[in-house]
Amino acid sequence: MPKHAVEANFDGLVGPTHNYAGLSWGNVASKSNVNAVSSPREAALQGLAKMKRLADRGYVQGVLPPHERPHIPTLKSLGFTGSDKAVLAAVARENPSILAAASSASAMWTANAATVSPSADTSDHRVHFTPANLSAKFHRSIEHVVTGRVLKSIFADDAWFAHHPALPSVSHFGDEGAANHTRLCSRYGEPGVELFVYGQVAFNELAPAPVKYPARQSLEASRAIARLHGLNDSHVVFAQQNPAAIDAGVFHNDVIAVGNANTLFYHELAFLKEEQVLADIRSRLAGTELQAVRVSSAEVPIEDAVQSYLFNSQLLNTADGMLLAVPGECREVRSVSRYLDDLVKGDGPITSVEVFDVKQSMRNGGGPACLRLRVALNDDELKAMHHGVLLNDALYERLTTWVEAHYREELSTEDLADPMLLDEVRKALDELTGILGLGSIYDFQL
């Protein structure tokens, strides 16, 4: 029987080494801000403020901790030896790009942390988690081990939760997590349709593929996750992302489409076979009608969609319709701002728009939707999870104080070689695991 359920959002807390190293080829914002001086403290406080606004409105809002960076075990696996200070000095001297990769705070974008299937969809009626291997980018490919530890610590009871290891870390099974996955349903506690969006068919060289930028998600990876999660064919749709969109800078599907409940908000260039995708969703979406909100290129050119991150917004239920939580940049791009004004005047499912300041994240190519991992939980599952990561007034105050005590106001890529930074990070994270009650999840704690 369907159960009452909510969609909880788990945002990544921006890490102390938040910087602009321009590591992500295909991510226009990341490359355009390369080597700019970042503000880790401001970034973390912006993320917390976003979480607090949503928690204050009654949404279940969780916090996922940053990862340990620079990651010394990764550097040692590449042959750098000696003390931590010696390792940092050697890699900074020999290859600063490797140091930048091992120092990235990219785990903040938890839309890439994992793919999550709610119990209403899975064959064993447990919530299933698979950390994304993120094999397309070295700096992100090292995240899945700690991500898995975090998720297992929060969702520990195997009576309710099932955890899988990341897929093989090769391009044939490239997996970018929930950034290429969304779920459509009548109600969160009822069976829904899980939409897996892929950029390439890895084992078919003749299949359509982008030319300029690489496709990060493969069909083979999406199918593997559906099998691991025990999803029936009646609960899944596999859709190819439009290669032209990838080449325009849409490196993940959540940069050009977002779904919630029975609503899919998308750009006309999102999918290679748009009409077929919509037909497949409608044929599987039992008990409710799909509300497809299509944005044409005439209304918002794809370049403006990428610049503003219109679709990398959170789509949330309210008592009066749906709220679209957009980054401030959406009001700085004329076509997008005009479209949003017209959108809320219409009679569609999206009835309100609110602006969120996540500028520090946006400069690295991540909007509000990049910062959150959605987990649909029924009442029993919500009760069974670890509550120490759920944001309330007290936790918000503790985390704000923690950030202000431990984060640097400014950080350049040259600062990543400072051994004091590593000491600062480890001290901060050791304290954070106590605040969140997560136990030992970092390599330096084990």
Question: Which residues are designated catalytic?
Answer: 176, 252, 370
Nearest to 414 by CA among 106, 138, 97: 97
Nearest to 28 by CA among 214, 199, 250, 216: 250
Nearest to 17 by CA among 50, 47, 41: 41
40-56 and 393-406 helices cross at what angle (nearest 10)? 180
H-helix or E-strand containing 436? Answer: helix 419-436
Nearest to 8 by CA among 201, 154, 147: 154
Residue 155 to residue 384: CA distance in whole angstroms: 8
Q: Is 44:17 a contact under the CB 8 Å cutoff?
A: no
Q: Where are the alpha helices (DSSP H) in 69-202?
A: 72-77, 84-94, 96-102, 138-141, 144-154
Distant-in-sequence contacts of 147-154, Cβ < 8 A, 24+ apart? 147/67, 147/107, 147/113, 147/114, 149/441, 150/64, 150/65, 150/438, 150/441, 151/113, 151/114, 153/386, 153/438, 153/439, 153/441, 154/10, 154/62, 154/385, 154/386, 154/389, 154/438
Q: Is 311:258 a contact under the CB 8 Å cutoff?
A: yes
Phi and psi angles of residue 295, each rounded to the nearest 5 degrees, phi first = -110, 120
State both tokens at 282.
């409608």
Please state whether beta strands 114-117 and 161-163 pair in parallel, antiparallel, or not at all (unpaired).
unpaired
419-436 and 84-94 helices cross at what angle (nearest 10)? 120
Which residue is it, tokens 């980054």? 327
